Amino acid sequence: MYVKKNFGLKSILVFSGGHIIWITIWALLIALVYQFTPLKEWLVIPWLPLSVIGTAVAFYVGFKNNSAYDRLWEARKIWGAIVYDSNGYLNEWEGTFNGEPLPVATYYFVFETGEQ
């Protein structure tokens, strides 16, 4: 999980394992070959399959993102249940002072550190 605020170029290259470099070079090579050779005349790519594939990929990524969020939410619920069911703090005070019971009220501690 990446928890920093921004992505740097170096972190993107490390995360992609260097694949982004060769994919960029490959796409640039294909674009240049298409632009500066006679391929334009006989190689025509219809837009309908590209849009259908793009829509399918968008649905796939959306469902994967949703399932990842569901797993995160389930983990948070389980962790919350563990924290909620854990033992409370140790309280050994029985409401007495010098062996005498104190009246029901709100009591608090004052810690003096000796600093002013």
Residue 25: what pLDDT? 94
Task: Give the C-alpha separation, 14 to 8, whole Å.
Answer: 10
For every one of its 116 residues, what pLDDT tens digit does the chain have, with 9 covering 90 and above? 667 778 888 888 888 887 888 999 999 998 888 888 887 777 777 788 889 999 999 998 888 888 888 888 899 999 888 887 776 667 777 888 888 888 888 778 888 888 76
pLDDT of residue 56: 92
Rg of the chain on CA atoms, in Å:
32
In whole angstroms, what is the distance from residue 96 CA to residue 5 CA?
52
Instruction: Write down the pLDDT at residue 88.
Output: 67
Q: What is the pTM for the complete model shown?
A: 0.37
Tokens 């007495």 identify what position? 96
| Domain boundaries of the chain, sorted by first residue | 7-43, 45-83
What percent of the chain clears pLDDT 70, i.e. is strictly above it? 94
For residue 58, what pLDDT is reported? 92
